[in-house]
Amino acid sequence: MKATTWVQPTIVTVQDVPDPKILNRRDAIVKITSTAICGSDLHLLDGYVPTMQTGDVMGHEFMGEVVEVGADIGPDKLEVGDRVVVPFPIACGVCTPCVQGMTSACENSNPNAGAAEKLFGHPLCGMFGYSHLTGGFAGGQAEYARVPFADFGPLKIESDLTDEQVLFLTDILPTGYMAADFCDIEDGDVVAVWGAGPVGQFAMDSARVLGAGKVIAIDKEPYRLQMAEQAGYTTVNFDEVDVRSVLLELTGGRGPDKCIDAVGMEGSHGSPHIYYYDRIKQLARSETDRPYALRQAILSCRNGGIVSVVGVYGGMIDKFPSGSWINRGLTLRASQTPVHKYLRPLLERIERKELDPTRIITHTLPLDQAPHGYHIFKHKLENCEKVVLKP
Amino acid sequence: MALDSQARPSPSEIAVVGRALGVVSAALGVPLVARPADVADAIGVGRKPRARLAAQIVGGRELAAAAALLVRPSAPFVWARVAGDAMDLTLLGRALAGHGRRHRNRTVAATAAAAAITAVDVVAALRASRSGSATELTASTTIRKPPQEVYERWRAFSNLPEFMAHLERVDVLDERRSHWVASAPFGSAEWDATITEDVPGERIAWRSDQGATVPNEGVVRFVDAPGGRGTEVHVQMRYSLPAGGAGKLVARYFGEEPHQQLDDDLRRFKQVVEIGEVVRSDGAPGGKRARKEFPQRPAQPLSTDEYTEVTW
């Protein structure tokens, strides 16, 4: 089959690889009908996530049709022919975190848990196409994928919703929703979102449906800000204005009640000297992440507010504003998304047309053109917001 | 725990013996440095400048040994004392060989004393180093099943090789005895083991029988975890590699990190009990055979040949 594989930092290719096979009794093989490139794939592309190997199949946002099931999967759970959306965290469904709904902390799904434990103190769950720290599972930017624990993870789509309407349930829609969910939004809350990429857009939509009074989008790409503006949000271009003063102005001096970081480790900064300070430290491997958005979100948030982090950070950061955080009583919340628990509620919101995930799709390309998709998404060319690939 | 406590000195024993030897070193070193000529005369080698210089060098060495042992009493420094003893005996032997009759009895007495000290040092050094050849490991995990069930899964020894990377086979001989076959960096090791304690739902302790190439013993405890969290499994074990400390270094060179392996074994035990099998990925398709963690094979589907190799 054809698959998008990682070659070396900044290079991916589409090549022929063997077809996936059942390895565990609760596996299923899915023939992929739609898959997407995620912002976090760009961190893998650029080599910021350790333990990538040449030949690793990329991709953790995919859906398709079940073509084979393992011996332990009963027909009441999943059958050949079922149309499924596959959550990016691989979760067993029976360990304590899974039973409690924290599937992204599954204790059984990562065969390389020992290695992840050394970096993070405790292991991570397994994930599709997301380095060997999360298990070394082949991803879904391919024609087929092996899906472990297929009787627990995948969501069957039995209505006539299009792929484009449900594909983002795999990751970015639940991730954006979780960001807003962490904010415990109250009536009249002002929610500021750093990053108007796909996750940021969905965080804004989710803040809206959860009752925010005003939603503010912060970015520097005019086309991304325009997309947010069209959806009804206030926009701030950090390349043109001082973010903190504008936020104070927009909130009567209080600061946003809730701040969401949907940027992560490869952020940009309006001031070149600050950008290059962190960029050089990152290149020298003396920090792994450039946390501009996180720093600014903490400093901007009102006293006693909530800072919700869904941008991906990978290791260590410098100049963390701990004084602002503790003295002003901020709550900092973050997680890899336990996608499973958001699947059904979000599917219902899509069915009720409260959320329209298709609004962010700017490019639909054949799988063969995945490297081009990575290129335009990374460099923000052709007004690229979200690339969907069709195998 | 039931681990054999005589085979190995406790860290505090090394500290006490090491410090005592440090005091002995200081008691010898001070007069040798302060009044070298008098000491040389007292042991019957005369007051000549050469004897004086030798006494001062030996004294300086004793003071250094004293400082090392008092600050950090440990096996290497006790061995350094043994090396010093060898030097002393050599010097005294030369003195005896070239000796006139005068004061010869003093030198003989000094040599006898040095030999006695050497014997004490050698015994102390050997005891202190025995800790270097045994590896002691602890690891724990929590499994979402009741203690009795988790105990039963472990107690069925013949199933252990499913998740323990090094075990190839376990044959249960009778209620208490079993035969174990494990792979080692060089070839394989086999031994018989006896259960020394067996409390259903609570603990299993074992010890290898006489003559095992890799003598080992340990205890596994099954503890009810608080708030219905299942069962805490606590493993404590100890084994001695045939070549002692050198064997450990060699094993590490071949990528065998014992603590990591026991952790991984327990993680796979949890998988087997909770989900029924060891989880496999494309990067680590061999389950427990994914011994060396990195580099792995790429995270892409297996070829038919690789598939045949890794699966049942």
B224 and B151 in a common domain = yes
- Specify the number of domains making up chain B: 2
Q: Which CATH number belongs to the domain containing residue B276 in this structure?
A: 3.30.530.20
Of B188 and A214, the one with more pLDDT: A214
User: Does residue A132 sit at the B interface (CB-CB below 8 Å)?
Assistant: yes
A-B contacts at Cβ under 8 angstroms: 127
Rounded CA-CA distance A308/A298 in Å is 10
**Residue B280 domain flag:** yes
B185 and B150 in a common domain = yes
B244 and B215 in a common domain = yes
**Residue B219 domain flag:** yes
- Residue B5 pLDDT > 50, yes or no? no
Residue B178 belongs to what H/E stretch? strand B177-183
B282 and B164 in a common domain = yes
Lowest mean pLDDT among A138-152, A351-365, B120-134: B120-134
Out of B230, B281, B298, the one facing A111 most closely (by C-beta) is B281
**Residue B137 domain flag:** no
Q: Dump pLDDT digits (tens) for B149-158.
A: 999 999 999 9
**Residue B257 domain flag:** yes
B215 and B124 in a common domain = no
B81 and B176 in a common domain = no
Out of A107, A136, A149, the one facing B281 most closely (by C-beta) is A136
Contact state of B298 with A56 under an 8 Å Cβ cutoff:
yes
- 3-state SS of A81-150? CCEEEECCEECCCCCHHHHCCCHHHCCCCCCCHHHHHHHHCCCCCEEECCCCCCCCECCCCECEEEECCC
Q: Chain A partners of B301 at a C-beta cutoff of 8 Å?
A: 1, 17-21, 57, 138, 144, 146
Q: Dump pLDDT digits (tens) for A8-45.
A: 999 999 999 999 999 999 999 999 999 999 999 999 99
pLDDT at B107: 86
pLDDT band at A344 (very low <50, low <70, confident <90, very high): very high
**d(CA B255, nearest CA chain A) in Å:** 14
**Residue B301 domain flag:** no
* Average confidence (pLDDT) over B265-281: 95
Q: Chain A residue closest to B293 (CA)?
A: A112
Of A68 and A277, the one with more pLDDT: A68
Token look-up 């959860």 returns A210
B19 and B96 in a common domain = yes
Percent of chain A with pLDDT over 90: 85
Burial class (CB in 10 A: 0-12, 13-18, 19+), A265: buried
B190 and B125 in a common domain = no
- Residue B270 pLDDT > 90, yes or no? yes
B208 and B92 in a common domain = no
**Residue B6 domain flag:** no
Last residue of some domain: B132, B157, B185? B132
Say which DSSP state A221 is in: -
* Average confidence (pLDDT) over A355-366: 98
**Residue B310 domain flag:** no
**Residue B208 domain flag:** yes
pLDDT at B134: 76
* Average confidence (pLDDT) over B284-303: 77
Percent of chain B with pLDDT over 90: 34
Percent of chain B with pLDDT over 70: 85
- Residue A94 pLDDT > 90, yes or no? yes
pLDDT band at B179 (very low <50, low <70, confident <90, very high): very high
The per-residue pLDDT of chain A, averaged, comes to: 94
Structural domain boundaries enclosing B80: 11-132
B280 and B153 in a common domain = yes
Residue B134 belongs to what H/E stretch? strand B134-143
pLDDT at B185: 67
B27 and B102 in a common domain = yes
Q: CA dihedral defined by A261, A267, A270, A275, rounded to 10 degrees?
A: 130
Last residue of some domain: B84, B102, B132? B132
User: Residue A103's CB: how many other CB atoms inside 10 A?
Assistant: 27
* Average confidence (pLDDT) over B136-146: 95
B257 and B190 in a common domain = yes
Q: What are chain A's domains?
A: 2-171+337-390 (3.90.180.10), 174-334 (3.40.50.720)
- Residue A268 pLDDT > 80, yes or no? no
Last residue of some domain: B103, B132, B161? B132
pLDDT band at B2 (very low <50, low <70, confident <90, very high): very low
